[in-house]
Amino acid sequence: MKTMFKTPVLALAAAAALALSACATGPAVTSRADTSVNFAGYRSFAFAEPLGTDRNGYQTMVSQVLKASARRELEARGLVYDAAAPQLIVNFNAALADKLRVTTTTAPTMAMGTYYGRGYYGYRGGMYTAWPMYQDQTNVTQYKEGTLNIDVADAGKKQLVWEGVVAGSVGSKAQQNLEATLDDAVTKAFARFPVARK
């Protein structure tokens, strides 16, 4: 049974591993909220079924970690988990993409006085060199970019009221510490939720 969803789970795990250990500044975190909504009026929440991070009818390990972290964050803000009659529905999505980073730097190349073996047109004869010439050098590196979306929707209106997005490059350290990485991403996203922790 595990082999049925092993590859999608690993892809999701890498996509959602957004602590971005490779980046000193951490992930980019953004959020959007419906300004017409009174978030303090909400009292209960539940999770979408199936979640965007579930695969082939199974709840992935990624989904389990995300649910536990989101539940902790929402309960810390005074909301109660209520699967039967939630006012808010929480959903997740994780994506992983191959990216290219292109950087261009200027670097010195061969000095003018060393051309043609004996120097520039021969008259410097290796006695001295002139100024260096400069040339642009372009470096291309590949990396993985992961994006975690957290949606919070009004269950009655069936309308998105808040979205938190955590995105950035995914390093091997983040993938090896998956649970902590995901938890950190959820914490960073909910730090921008319209209702503060109590």
Task: Tell whether pTM > 0.85.
Answer: no
| Mean pLDDT value of segment 132-156 | 83
Task: Confirm whether 123 is domain-assigned.
Answer: yes
Q: Please, are residues 150 and 74 in contact by the beta-carbon 8 Å criterion?
A: no
Q: What CATH number should be reported for the domain holding residue 177?
A: 3.30.160.670
pLDDT of residue 38: 97
* Same-domain check for residues 52 and 42: yes
Q: Which amino acid is at 8?
A: P
* Same-domain check for residues 115 and 71: no
Segment 61-79, tens digit of pLDDT: 999 999 999 999 999 999 9
* Same-domain check for residues 162 and 87: yes
Task: Confirm whether 197 is domain-assigned.
Answer: no
Q: Containing H/E element for 64? A: helix 61-75
| Mean pLDDT value of segment 19-40 | 78
Q: What is the domain range of residue 25?
A: 2-100+142-190
Cα–Cα nearest to 92, from 51, 46, 45: 51
% residues pLDDT > 70 (the chain)? 71
pLDDT of residue 19: 37
* Same-domain check for residues 178 and 82: yes
User: Distance between CA 167 and CA 148 in Å, rounded?
Assistant: 6
